[in-house]
A = this chain, B = another copy of it.
């Protein structure tokens, strides 16, 4: 409930259009309506121009279509993450208005212009850095989401720690970013190295890339958390979306 509608309710009560009991009834449900309003309030994504987000992982094509349609009718931008190619194909047969970003496993429905960041400070760029080519799907999820959220994104891929020269050759890209998303599987050492090279927040994204002792991303994650660089925080394994979400909040100042 917006302040305006609450004001309206009070006026209708004073004018007699609404009986005391009806007003009471209405207001008695306020805490939660208010919370329902708060719900909108916590729908900060919408208010901030961020789209509604649906995790496609483990949902059927039918479920995805149903949810997207419901969100579409509310006029917001809609983002579906973790959509495999075949599922994306089937969803778009029913909802051809969705844009498909296969490299990032995303479906996207733009109904509003992307939010222009700014807030308190001038926003900068988000650098998305990967250790190996196999980390690309997660990195693209992060990069495309960050772009859809209105950020300027710089990609720096395949600069793993076993070939430092590639990383160092692009140190300007790293140092000019407001916040960095560093994506790595296997031993997950890249965020520590990048963290030591820059004075900005580094969001580390472990990936499930690798075999054996890579333990499906757990080794990379543990290493990122035990990092000797103090400016590194981590998100869940393969969670490119979450990294982009937090990076956007940081970038907006």
Contacts and interface: CB of A to CB of B under 8 A. Distances in A.
A9 to B, nearest CB: 8
Given A27-B27, A188-B223, A230 B53 contact: yes
A113 interface: no
For chain A, which range describes its interface: under 10, 10 to 19, 20 to 34, or 35 or more residues?
Answer: 35 or more
Contacts of A34: 28, 30-31
Of the candidates A195, A217, A253, the one having the most CB atoms from chain B within 10 angstroms of its own CB is A253
Contact of A213 (B134, B170, B210, B221): B221
B187 A227 contact: yes
A238 B219 CA distance: 17
A230 B241 contact: yes
Interface of A: 3, 6-7, 10-11, 13-14, 20, 23-24, 27-28, 30-36, 38-39, 42, 44-45, 47-48, 53, 57-59, 63, 119-122, 124, 131-134, 160-166, 168-171, 178, 186-189, 192-193, 195-201, 203, 206, 208-215, 217-239, 241-243, 245-246, 249-250, 253
